[in-house]
Structure 1
């Protein structure tokens, strides 16, 4: 395994870890909003976005490296990591919308 491929696999693992953590924080935010704790929900959503940003930065490093000519073998692990990131992005976005809905419902009471 080349040094570039090893680095890419380590980055893929980091990407999956951060994406998973972001999705978990977003899920906790939805649960908090469901329980009526909107302050906690907003805090968890902010945490999810911050962790998602870390994942996105890892992806940017991977893309930049390839753009600089450091070819990396495309593996199932790298594809899987990208899938985790895209799922987390969607989940965090939807969590924000769900929290806004819970907030609106609370204001209407």
Structure 2
């Protein structure tokens, strides 16, 4: 098993997920809600790929009792866990943007009605 190669794949998938999540958050901030769910789903798929790689590493350690872990693996694990935490926060922030947008639309409607009177 090439731990360095798997570590790089972990970083790749976690980085892809982070890119999708931040794109979804940017869309939410700009009230462009049509692609957000797709981007969050793509991020989840990337994180699933990363999790599968992580599982392989854990299984390999259980079988062969890996005695040394490369720094790149430690970095990969750190990167993955950070993105997983960001995912939870970004999903909450997106919902806040959705609710704020709905409130703004209703407020604009009320203001328009008041102007017509």
Q: Report the TM-score when normalising by structure 1.
A: 0.88
- The answer on 1:34 being equivalent to 2:29 is yes
In the other structure, the counterpart of 1:47 is 42
8 Å Cα contact 1:8-1:72 kept in structure 2: no
- The answer on 1:100 being equivalent to 2:74 is no
Q: What is the distance in 1 between the residues matched to 2:44 and 2:84? A: 9
In the other structure, the counterpart of 1:66 is 61
Q: What is the distance in 2 between the residues matched to 1:52 and 1:32? A: 20
Instruction: From 43, 65, 85, give the equivalent of 2:80.
Output: 85
Give 5+ residue unaligned stretches, structure 2.
105-117
Q: Report the TM-score when normalising by structure 2.
A: 0.83
State the Cα distance separating 1:73 from its structure 2 match: 2.1
- Aligned residues between the structures: 104
Q: What is the distance in 1 between the residues matched to 2:34 and 2:96? A: 14
In the other structure, the counterpart of 1:12 is 7
Q: What is the distance in 1 between the residues matched to 2:88 and 2:52? A: 18
State the Cα distance separating 1:68 from its structure 2 match: 1.4
Give 5+ residue unaligned stretches, structure 1.
none
Q: Radius of gyration: which is bigger?
A: 2
Q: What is the distance in 1 between the residues matched to 2:75 and 2:67? A: 15
